[in-house]
Amino acid sequence: MTHRTTLFVVILILSALSWWWIAAMGIDMYGAMTGASAWMMTPTWDTAHVLLLFAMWTVMMVAMMLPSVTPLLLIYNGVARRTEVPGYAPSFVYLVALGYLVVWTLFSGGATALQRLLTSAAVLNPMMELASRRASAGLLILAGVYQTLPMKAACLKQCRAPMAFLAEHARPGAAGAFELGLRHGIYCIGCCWALMLLLLAGGIMNLWVIGALAVFVAIEKIAPAGNATRWIAATSLIGVGLFLFAT
C-alpha cells in the first residue's frame, strides 16, 4: 500500500467512525433517548457530562470538516514525496492534519461553552434547538450576511486553493507542518463559523442539518463552482430568516 493510499484510508476510517458516532446519537436523540444520547438528558451537568458534550462537538467537527481538508493533505503528501528540499517528509502530513483538527477542537470547546450558556438561559430547549423562532431567524440572517462579506471571501479563497496555500505558507520541518495545519484551520473557521452556528437553529443533533452543512461546506471549498455558492447561500439564508421574522 502506497503512502498516499494509506493516508486516504486513514482519513476515510476516521471520517466514517465520526459519522457513525454522530449518527447513532442523532437517531437516538430523535427516538427513544435511551441509547447513545441518553447522557444528554441529565439534569445535572457535571464535569463528566460537559466533557462528553465537548467530545460530541469535537467528533461532529471532525465528521463535517475533515473531508473538506482532504485535498490539502493529499497535495502536501504528494509534494513532500517528490521534493528534494530538506525538511519535508510524507509522514509530516499527519502533523498538518493534527494542526487543522486542533483548531477545530478549540472551536468545539467554544461551542460547548456557548451551548451550556444558552441552555442555562433557557434559549436552547432540551432538544438542543433554539427555543425562539426569532432567534433562529436572526442566526439565519447573520449567516447569510456573513456569506457576502470580504472576510468570508478572503478565507474561502485560501480554502479553495490548496496548492497556492502550500506555496505561500509551507515551512520545512515537523513544526512547519503543524503550523501549516493550524493556519489552514484558522482560515477554515473564518470561512465556516457562521454556518456552524446554524446547528443551533436547526438542532445540534439534527442529522439532516448536520449532513446538509457538511455537504455545503465541501461543495463551497472543493467544487469548481463552489465560490458562487456563497451568494446562493446568502440569498437563501437571508430570505428564510426574513420569512421566519414575518410569520
Domain positions in the chain: 3-246
- Highest-scoring range by mean pLDDT, 50-54, 81-85, 88-92, 226-230: 50-54
What mean pLDDT is predicted for residues 152-159? 94
Q: What is the pLDDT of residues 178-202, one digit of tens each?
A: 999 999 999 999 999 999 999 998 8
| Confidence at residue 122, expressed as pLDDT on a 0 to 100 scale | 86
Answer yes or no: is pLDDT of 142 > 90.
yes
| Confidence at residue 132, expressed as pLDDT on a 0 to 100 scale | 87
| Confidence at residue 103, expressed as pLDDT on a 0 to 100 scale | 97
What mean pLDDT is predicted for residues 91-112? 96
What mean pLDDT is predicted for residues 131-140? 90
The band of 234, judged by pLDDT with boundaries at 50, 70 and 90, is very high
CB 165 within 8 A of CB 186: no
The band of 16, judged by pLDDT with boundaries at 50, 70 and 90, is very high
Answer yes or no: is pLDDT of 84 > 80.
no
The band of 82, judged by pLDDT with boundaries at 50, 70 and 90, is confident
- Give the rounded percent of residues in the chain with a pLDDT score beyond 70: 99
Answer yes or no: is pLDDT of 85 > 80.
no
Lowest-confidence segment of 43-47, 109-113, 136-140 by average pLDDT = 43-47
What mean pLDDT is predicted for residues 12-39? 89
The band of 1, judged by pLDDT with boundaries at 50, 70 and 90, is low
| Confidence at residue 245, expressed as pLDDT on a 0 to 100 scale | 86
**Alpha-carbon separation of residue 44 from 47, 51, 53 (angstroms):** 10, 13, 13
Alpha-carbon distance of 212 to 59, in angstroms, equals: 17
Summary mean pLDDT of the chain: 91
| Confidence at residue 228, expressed as pLDDT on a 0 to 100 scale | 84
| Confidence at residue 35, expressed as pLDDT on a 0 to 100 scale | 82
The band of 237, judged by pLDDT with boundaries at 50, 70 and 90, is very high
- Highest-scoring range by mean pLDDT, 51-65, 121-135, 215-229: 51-65
| Confidence at residue 36, expressed as pLDDT on a 0 to 100 scale | 82
